[in-house]
Amino acid sequence: MKKQKILLVNKFYYNRGGDCIQTINLRKILEANGHEVAVFSMQYPQNIESGYDKYYPSQVDFSGGVKAKLNAASRIFGIGDVKTQFAKLLKDFAPDAVHLHNIHSYISPVVAKMAKKSGCKVVWTMHDYKLSCPSYSCLHNNKPCELCLSDKTAVLKTRCMKGSMVASLLAYLEARYWNLKKLVKYTDTFICPSEFMGQMMMKAGVPQDKIFVKNNPILERKDISEQKKRVSDYYCYVGRLSTEKGIETLLKAASELPYKLKVAGGGPLEEELRKKYTSDNIEFLGQISREAVVDLFSNAMFSVAPSECYDNNPGSVIESLCMGTPLIGAKIGGIPELISEKDGILYEPFNKDSLKEAISLMATKYTEYDGVSISKSANERFSSQNYYKEIASLYGV
């Protein structure tokens, strides 16, 4: 049977964040399984070569001057070269299926409409809550919020899109224009990387039969030696240094404990947190390479995922488990679905004392966890081949 030709769409095409990494990895997975794969993204200096760059629409910038902002705003509604460039690629590549990732704002859901109209199967992986929440995050005042699930005007009342009325109005208009009724009609299947995400989509109005729940895969595997001994004296955090990730709650807890914490990642709070919390027991590593992340997880006593937002399917949790490293996770979003008593501990988010208790407990019992078993189970659960087997049918025949 001839393998389907798949067109992947994401707003950026470089190692920028989870959506980009998953798009890049999915291309490798599909090509390894005999598919011909094309990519559609926005022109951007840091994009990696895809072979389809000539089809990319021009770059838009929401932080530029008035003219740049107006141009960017028009992109949201599918106005400009995004339609002409996507039409060219649909014609020249003739895909059987179009697999969407993060497309709002910089690409536009107009591509879903065009793909469906051309006769393609349309599959869409959810990386954030944009279809439920105009501001993506389901956060208001740095706390989880579900007001927009039933009333999109809430984004105007709370101004929770960048704290700006203009940005919130634009997000509201986008949600009204690309409403769920339209997007459900254009999309055959929404892939939700967590049950929690699936439930949020249904609360927002997406029919259950349009939702397929499957964790994101991990491309690289690392064998954990049975002789491996965890002799390190640290635990770690890997991720963005921003409020919704719960990093300051972790640092407050860590500063009151005798165990060494290594923090890897950058973000808007990095400079402030370095000044406030660097000590003998807290070390900031900044942005580190993929190889360094693997080593950091592999040698840590345990890791911590202290999110204070509806984290969907955090890669840091999956990475830690695949390295055979137990972890502590906040009981929020999709995190509890990833952690069992065999590989970690859950604690109450926003609660420093609950986190301190979990860290103290884990520091005394981390050697009781079977790293080999954790790694083997996680690598099977999140393997690229298992992922491919489950989603291949979504592309049609």
What domains can you pick out in the chain, each with its CATH number? 5-125+179-217+383-395 (3.40.50.2000), 234-381 (3.40.50.2000)
Rounded distance, CA 216 to CA 194, Å?
9
pLDDT of residue 221: 58
In the structure encoding, which two tokens stand for residue 212, read together? 């397929």
3 has pLDDT over 60: yes
In the structure encoding, which two tokens stand for residue 347, read together? 């604690």
Whether residue 14 contacts residue 44, with contact meaning beta carbons closer than 8 Å, is answered with yes
pLDDT of residue 291: 87
Rounded distance, CA 60 to CA 77, Å?
13
Full 3-state SS string of 100-117: ECCCCCCCCCHHHHHHHH
Residue 175 burial (CB < 10 Å; 0-12/13-18/19+)? Answer: buried
Rounded distance, CA 307 to CA 320, Å?
15
The model carries a pTM of 0.92
222 has pLDDT over 60: no
Count CB neighbours of 206 within 10 A. Answer: 21
> Which residue is listed with tokens 């006593």?
301
Q: Dihedral sign, CA of 14, 17, 20, 23?
A: positive
Question: With bands split at pLDDT 50, 70 and 90, how would you rate the model's confidence at 226?
Answer: very low
> Which residue is listed with tokens 């679905």?
337
Q: What is the pLDDT of residues 119-144, one digit of tens each?
A: 999 999 999 999 999 988 899 988 99
Rounded distance, CA 234 to CA 231, Å?
9
In 145-233, alpha helices (H): 154-158, 165-177, 180-186, 195-204
Mean pLDDT across 288-297: 91
163 has pLDDT over 60: yes
227 has pLDDT over 50: no
Rounded distance, CA 256 to CA 304, Å?
16
Rounded distance, CA 49 to CA 64, Å?
26
Whether residue 63 contacts residue 106, with contact meaning beta carbons closer than 8 Å, is answered with no
217 has pLDDT over 50: yes
What does each C-alpha distance from 208 to 138, 196, 375 come to in angstroms? 20, 13, 32
